[in-house]
């Protein structure tokens, strides 16, 4: 095969990523000229310990056994994580860490580079990137989070740099912790945390972190380096066994998340922190840089030219890095919001911390440390052998037998608002599938309140009777499963085509007039709604009341008021869609006024013993829109009027939103509302596995989990979750005709993937 075979390679930055890339490329082709520029001296390093995963070490072992053997001689290994909070230590084992000193790691890589013939230029600023690009076949920019190369080509790489809310300082202790240690200090100025781990027989990395406002209040801004070190040692004296801390040009800093739209330009490529950063709380900075080097070297061997190799490198690494950055951001934000969890029971607090990034889950934590996980389950109230998702939950007079909700999903399959056989089969199948609660799609309160001509309604007696038929089927054929109705009005997002004919596209004919808080179209091509008058507000409120009355007669178990996703009531809540200057617009209290009036009217006709929930968009994902803080106040307001739980979604309010998608990406908003207000919450959004449900429930981040697409893929998702976990208890009941299928079918063998890069010795 032809190779790209760059003969002259320039590497900017002599950190682990740059050095390892140099060693790999020189080893692959000894004839290559590889030069590394490093501005600092060989023994300069500003960190202390480095943690590497078994996965990364496996890659190093296959790619360069010499480096792997040298690392093995110096690793400190341990399995436990200690979490110390309010004088209680919880220990979880089975995690498997390997660490060594950063200085030792650099020495090993220096020795390997020298042995292979790499030219290392220390105390040397690299020439300007443009000159290097003209002079060398390939330029690797491994020059860190403050990369000058990235800045030189900012118009090409298009970096996005986000600063976060905590300050931290990187220190060391002169003894070895016997576990990865997290210690929480509640001080008069606020909460602080210590992250510590051993990296040698007589040394540990210690990172002290706190929110900016706590850092300011504690006076650290006025302290010099040594004073800061001494003050940190006093705060965490017990964890440090009374020993001092030491620094190495250590300074308080704010973590910056770096994301680049592109990683290469012509023959210049970014690697490591220059391309991306991941918060230290998941220990991935060096890991990612080393893995980048492995992938880049492999792509240069496999592809026919440099352009193809760099393209393949980006294509391979970007999804991996994006996944790690999502996990790192979840971990970072958990520590930023640590104060929310201080009152949790000790073991639940520890479980919450361990699962914060979503990389560690209930299921794999059970594999690592079954004793600890079972203790957390007992504290939570799980009967023996019962996964958290199959514990009951009570809302007012309704007890749900498990924590799974079939989320509302618009089917666009009604005729004149009447649900037919499709709805009976659709909702009936999901009720038979074992969920604790099955929700209807958004059921519209008027013909003008529909999204599409196919939307279901509850504004006529015929519609009410059709819904009653469906509810009766669920109650008769799936006893123990509750069915809820979601009531809503489309507002400015109505009079559109069926989703599969063109989502949000206006009807070509047969349009109906739209109403909204303010006359703002959803999209440029959307119909412009009329601003609701006072008289029309009264009419809409009465439409909701009449629909709720019909829902009660249909015998629904629960009613949810849809105040999310940019529909009518959501339109009142968001400052981006409510520009009114009367009593229903302006401050949040005024924007809440009409949704609360509707809620009160509905609650007035809804049976007292049956619960009501409210779905909200906790953020608009747009500048100037609803914030997480607003969402907390919105939740409090509805609770004060009698809401039993808040169903926490996000977005879909404005067309130019910028969501941050990812696994269970909306859960932090539910978590925040739950812990600040004490209200029960329903989490929704990219929750797809029963392991995620168990993790979220047991950590106390939510009370119920609503899943949509998984229930489209598998109507019996909850039954199958029980079978896969070997659970057969009261939390889920197989219908008698389905009982023979309650054991998981056998599957064929799958082999593990081959190593990414294997080199001969």
pLDDT in tens, 663-700: 899 999 999 999 999 999 999 999 989 999 999 999 99
Cα–Cα distance list, 156 to 12, 133, 432 (Å):
18, 15, 54
CATH code for the domain of 488: 3.20.20.70
* 238-249 residues labelled b (16+ CB within 10 A) or e (exposed): ebbeeeebbbee
* Position 358 in a domain: no
Question: Tens digit of pLDDT for each residue in 22-38?
Answer: 999 999 999 999 999 99
Two tokens, residue 128: 């300007």
Q: Exposed, middle or buried: residue 605 (CB in 10 Å: 0-12, 13-18, 19+)?
A: middle
At residue 106, the pLDDT reads: 94
Read off the pLDDT band of 757 (50, 70, 90). Answer: low
When pLDDT is averaged across residues 306-317 and rounded to a whole number, the result is 96
Read off the pLDDT band of 760 (50, 70, 90). Answer: very low
When pLDDT is averaged across residues 473-481 and rounded to a whole number, the result is 95
> Comparing 498-512, 612-626, 694-708, which segment has the lowest mean pLDDT?
498-512
* Position 756 in a domain: no
Same domain? 111 vs 227 = yes
At residue 3, the pLDDT reads: 47
At residue 748, the pLDDT reads: 64
Distance CA 449, CA 154 (A): 47
Q: Do residues 702 and 681 touch, judged by C-beta distance below 8 A? A: yes
Read off the pLDDT band of 64 (50, 70, 90). Answer: confident
Same domain? 83 vs 173 = yes
Q: Give me the residues paired with residue 197 across strands.
A: 205
At residue 43, the pLDDT reads: 78
Question: Tens digit of pLDDT for each residue in 633-644?
Answer: 999 999 999 999
Distance CA 662, CA 538 (A): 40
Range of the domain at 60: 8-337
Same domain? 407 vs 333 = no
At residue 443, the pLDDT reads: 98
Q: Do residues 620 and 657 touch, judged by C-beta distance below 8 A? A: yes
Same domain? 194 vs 114 = yes
Same domain? 330 vs 410 = no
pLDDT at 573 over 70: yes
Distance CA 386, CA 378 (A): 10
Number of domains in the chain: 2
pLDDT at 185 over 70: yes
pLDDT at 221 over 70: yes
pLDDT at 44 over 70: yes
Dmax (CA) of the chain = 85
* Position 760 in a domain: no
pLDDT at 244 over 90: yes
When pLDDT is averaged across residues 172-183 and rounded to a whole number, the result is 95
Read off the pLDDT band of 136 (50, 70, 90). Answer: very high
Two tokens, residue 334: 């958990």
459 is catalytic: no
Cα–Cα distance list, 643 to 188, 559, 626 (Å):
35, 10, 20
Look at the block and give the residue holding tokens 């996964």.
387
Pairing of β 180-187 and β 190-200? antiparallel
Distance CA 184, CA 189 (A): 13
Catalytic residue, candidates 20, 313, 567, 584:
567
Distance CA 491, CA 512 (A): 11
> Comparing 153-162, 230-239, 744-753, which segment has the lowest mean pLDDT?
744-753
Q: End-to-end alpha-carbon separation of the chain, Å?
A: 21
Same domain? 125 vs 210 = yes
How many other CB atoms are there within 10 angstroms of residue 530's CB atom? 14
* Position 229 in a domain: yes
Distance CA 195, CA 181 (A): 6
How many other CB atoms are there within 10 angstroms of residue 604's CB atom? 11
Same domain? 310 vs 412 = no
When pLDDT is averaged across residues 463-477 and rounded to a whole number, the result is 97
Same domain? 534 vs 630 = yes
pLDDT at 749 over 70: no
CATH code for the domain of 119: 3.50.50.60
pTM, two decimal places: 0.91
Read off the pLDDT band of 287 (50, 70, 90). Answer: confident
Two tokens, residue 581: 């200057």
* Position 697 in a domain: yes
* Position 386 in a domain: no
From 299, 319, 337, give the residue that closes a domain: 337
pLDDT at 343 over 70: yes
pLDDT at 205 over 50: yes
Read off the pLDDT band of 399 (50, 70, 90). Answer: very high
* 296-305 residues labelled b (16+ CB within 10 A) or e (exposed): bbbbbbebee
Cα–Cα distance list, 362 to 182, 356, 371, 376, 696 (Å):
19, 11, 12, 10, 9
Same domain? 416 vs 309 = no
pLDDT at 247 over 50: yes
Angle between helices 461-477 and 534-553 (to 10 degrees): 40
pLDDT at 296 over 60: yes
Report residue 453: phi and psi, to 5°.
-65, -20
E-strand ranges in 345-436 read 393-395, 398-400, 404-406
What single DSSP character describes residue 492?
G
* Position 118 in a domain: yes
Read off the pLDDT band of 759 (50, 70, 90). Answer: low
Same domain? 320 vs 212 = yes
When pLDDT is averaged across residues 271-275 and rounded to a whole number, the result is 97
pLDDT at 578 over 70: yes
Same domain? 539 vs 399 = yes
Q: Exposed, middle or buried: residue 318 (CB in 10 Å: 0-12, 13-18, 19+)?
A: middle
pLDDT at 53 over 80: no
When pLDDT is averaged across residues 540-547 and rounded to a whole number, the result is 98
Read off the pLDDT band of 2 (50, 70, 90). Answer: very low
Q: 430 — alpha (psi -120 to 50), left (phi > 0) or beta?
A: alpha
Q: Do residues 406 and 684 touch, judged by C-beta distance below 8 A? A: no
* Position 98 in a domain: yes
Two tokens, residue 59: 């890659």
Instruction: Work out the mean pLDDT of the chain and round it to a whole number.
Output: 93
Which one has a higher pLDDT value, 245 or 5? 245
From 293, 308, 337, give the residue that closes a domain: 337
Two tokens, residue 527: 């119909």
At residue 52, the pLDDT reads: 79
Read off the pLDDT band of 1 (50, 70, 90). Answer: very low
Q: Do residues 381 and 345 touch, judged by C-beta distance below 8 A? A: no
At residue 761, the pLDDT reads: 42
* 100-125 residues labelled b (16+ CB within 10 A) or e (exposed): bbbbbbbbbbbebbeebebebeeeee
At residue 285, the pLDDT reads: 84
When pLDDT is averaged across residues 31-48 and rounded to a whole number, the result is 87
Read off the pLDDT band of 562 (50, 70, 90). Answer: very high
Cα–Cα distance list, 441 to 394, 431, 655 (Å):
23, 14, 22
From 290, 314, 337, give the residue that closes a domain: 337
Same domain? 207 vs 72 = yes
């Amino acid at each position: 095969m032809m190779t790209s075979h760059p003969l002259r390679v320039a590497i900017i930055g002599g950190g682990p990523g740059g050095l390892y890339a140099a060693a790999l490329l020189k080893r692959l082709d000894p004839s290559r000229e590889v030069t590394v520029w490093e501005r600092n001296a060989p023994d300069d390093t500003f960190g202390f310990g480095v943690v590497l995963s078994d996965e990364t070490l496996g890659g190093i072992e296959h790619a360069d056994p010499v480096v792997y053997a040298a690392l093995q001689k110096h690793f400190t290994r341990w399995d436990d994580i200690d979490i110390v909070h309010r004088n209680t230590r919880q220990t979880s084992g089975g995690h498997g860490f390997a660490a060594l000193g950063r200085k030792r790691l650099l020495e090993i890589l220096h020795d390997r580079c020298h042995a292979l013939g790499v030219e290392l230029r220390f105390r040397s600023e690299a020439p300007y990137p443009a000159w290097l690009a003209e002079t060398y076949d390939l330029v690797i920019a491994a020059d860190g989070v403050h990369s000058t190369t990235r800045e030189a080509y900012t118009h090409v790489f298009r970096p996005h740099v986000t600063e976060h809310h905590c300050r931290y300082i990187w220190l060391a202790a002169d003894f070895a912790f016997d576990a990865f240690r997290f210690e929480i200090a509640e001080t008069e100025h606020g909460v602080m945390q210590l992250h510590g781990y051993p990296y040698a027989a007589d040394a540990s990395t210690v990172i002290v972190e706190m929110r900016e406002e706590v850092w300011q209040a504690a006076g650290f801004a006025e302290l010099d380096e040594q004073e800061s070190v001494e003050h940190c040692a006093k705060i965490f004296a017990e964890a440090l066994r009374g020993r001092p801390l030491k620094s190495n040009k250590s300074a308080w800093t704010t973590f910056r998340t770096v994301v680049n739209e592109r990683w290469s330009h012509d023959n210049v490529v970014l690697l490591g922190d220059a391309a991306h950063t991941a918060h230290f709380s998941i220990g991935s900075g060096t890991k990612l840089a080393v893995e980048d080097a492995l992938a880049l070297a492999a792509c240069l061997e496999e592809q026919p030219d440099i352009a193809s190799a760099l393209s393949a490198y980006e294509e391979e690494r970007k999804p991996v890095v994006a996944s790690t950055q999502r996990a790192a951001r979840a971990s970072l934000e958990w520590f930023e919001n640590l104060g929310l969890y201080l009152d949790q029971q000790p073991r639940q607090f520890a479980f919450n911390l361990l699962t914060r990034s979503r990389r560690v889950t209930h299921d794999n934590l059970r594999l690592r440390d079954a004793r600890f996980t079972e203790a957390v389950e007992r504290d939570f109230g799980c009967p023996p052998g019962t996964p958290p998702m199959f514990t009951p939950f009570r809302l007012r007079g309704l007890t749900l037998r498990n924590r799974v909700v079939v989320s509302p999903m618009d089917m666009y399959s009604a005729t004149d608002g009447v649900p037919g056989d499709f709805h009976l089969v659709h909702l009936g199948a999901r009720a038979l599938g074992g969920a604790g609660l099955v929700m209807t799609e958004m059921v519209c309160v008027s013909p003008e309140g529909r999204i599409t001509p196919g939307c279901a309604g509850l504004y006529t007696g015929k519609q009410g009777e059709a819904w009653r038929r469906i509810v009766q089927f669920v109650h008769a054929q799936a006893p123990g499963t509750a069915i809820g109705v979601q009531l809503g009005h489309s507002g400015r997002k109505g009079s559109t085509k069926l989703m599969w004919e063109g989502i949000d596209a206006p009807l070509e004919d047969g349009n109906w007039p739209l109403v909204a808080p303010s006359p703002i179209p959803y999209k440029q091509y959307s119909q412009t709604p009329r601003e609701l008058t006072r008289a029309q507000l009264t009419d809409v409120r009465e439409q909701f009341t009449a629909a709720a009355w019909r829902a009660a007669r249909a015998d629904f178990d629960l009613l949810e008021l849809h105040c999310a996703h940019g529909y009518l009531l959501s339109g009142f809540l968001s400052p981006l869609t409510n520009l009114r200057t009367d009593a229903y617009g302006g401050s949040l209290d005024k924007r809440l006024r009409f949704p609360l009036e509707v809620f009160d009217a509905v609650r007035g006709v809804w049976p007292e013993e049956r619960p009501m929930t409210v779905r909200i968009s906790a953020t608009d994902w747009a500048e100037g829109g609803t914030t997480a803080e607003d969402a907390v106040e919105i939740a409090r307001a509805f609770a004060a009027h009698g809401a039993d739980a808040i169903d926490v979604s996000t977005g879909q309010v404005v067309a130019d939103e910028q969501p941050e998608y990812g696994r269970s990406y909306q859960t932090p908003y539910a978590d925040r509302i739950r812990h600040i207000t004490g209200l029960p919450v329903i989490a929704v959004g990219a929750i797809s596995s029963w392991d995620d449900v168990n993790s979220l429930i047991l950590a106390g981040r939510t009370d119920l989990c609503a899943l949509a697409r998984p229930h489209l893929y598998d109507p019996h998702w909850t039954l199958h979750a029980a079978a896969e976990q070997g659970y057969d208890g009261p939390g889920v009941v197989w219908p008698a005709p389905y009982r023979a299928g309650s054991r998981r079918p056998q599957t064929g063998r799958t082999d593990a993937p081959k190593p990414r890069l294997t080199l001969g010795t």
